[in-house]
Amino acid sequence: MSKEQKFIATISKEFTFDAAHHIPSMPDGHKCRSLHGHTYRVEILLRDYVGESGFFIDYGDIAALWNAYVNIHLDHKLLNDLIPIPTTENLASWIVRELVDHLPSLDRVRVHESSSTYCEVSVMELRAAGVLPIPLAPRTLTPRGVVIPEKK
């Protein structure tokens, strides 16, 4: 790779899923306390060095990991069965925790609950808050350094 090609890039892959939830921590009479649903839009943002191949991860690998570790638990489900208080903030944090071990380049996740609202959670901030462990060894940056689970 030439010196001109050594740079860091941020890429994003978007997914949607439909799910229902209610927010039990909201006051009586608040519309979010009642059972309702959304078509969520999720952005998975990864940041890494671009490899000699011209990229650092295949978008298809991101999709395979999303389907295997996240979508299977969320799409057409009641989120309260998975997350006791399923706010957009808690949902974004849950998605990060599900993907971080499988996507070494994961930087942050955005969860859009509507066309005008979203929550963004970063891996670095979750580590700083003690929600995620801090890696003991620096990670090795290699293109296609992900393990895709076998389809069952």
**Would you say residue 117 lies in a domain?**
yes
The residue-averaged pLDDT of 2-23 equals 88
Has residue 138 got a pLDDT over 60? no
119 is catalytic: no
Q: Hey, which residues does 13 pair with through a beta bridge?
A: 44
Taking all residues of the chain, what is their mean pLDDT, rounded to a whole number?
89
Has residue 4 got a pLDDT over 80? no
Has residue 142 got a pLDDT over 90? no
**Would you say residue 147 lies in a domain?**
no
Catalytic residue among 14, 30, 36, 76: 76
Pairwise CA distance, residues 16 & 74, whole Å: 10
**Would you say residue 45 lies in a domain?**
yes
**Would you say residue 34 lies in a domain?**
yes
Has residue 109 got a pLDDT over 80? yes
For 33-43, the pLDDT digits (tens) are 999 999 999 99
- Count how many domains the chain has: 1
Its pTM stands at: 0.86
In this prediction, residue 141 has a pLDDT band, given cuts at 50, 70 and 90, of very low
What's residue 145's pLDDT?
52
Q: Is the dihedral of CA 27, 29, 30, 35 positive or negative?
A: positive
What's residue 57's pLDDT?
92
What's residue 137's pLDDT?
57
The residue type of 103 is L
**Would you say residue 50 lies in a domain?**
yes
CATH of the domain at 124: 3.30.479.10
**Would you say residue 27 lies in a domain?**
yes
For 48-72, the pLDDT digits (tens) are 998 788 888 999 999 999 999 999 9
Catalytic residue among 43, 73, 113, 120: 113
Has residue 148 got a pLDDT over 60? no
4 is catalytic: no
What's residue 51's pLDDT?
78
Expressed as residue numbers, the domain containing 114 is 3-128
**Would you say residue 49 lies in a domain?**
yes
**Would you say residue 142 lies in a domain?**
no
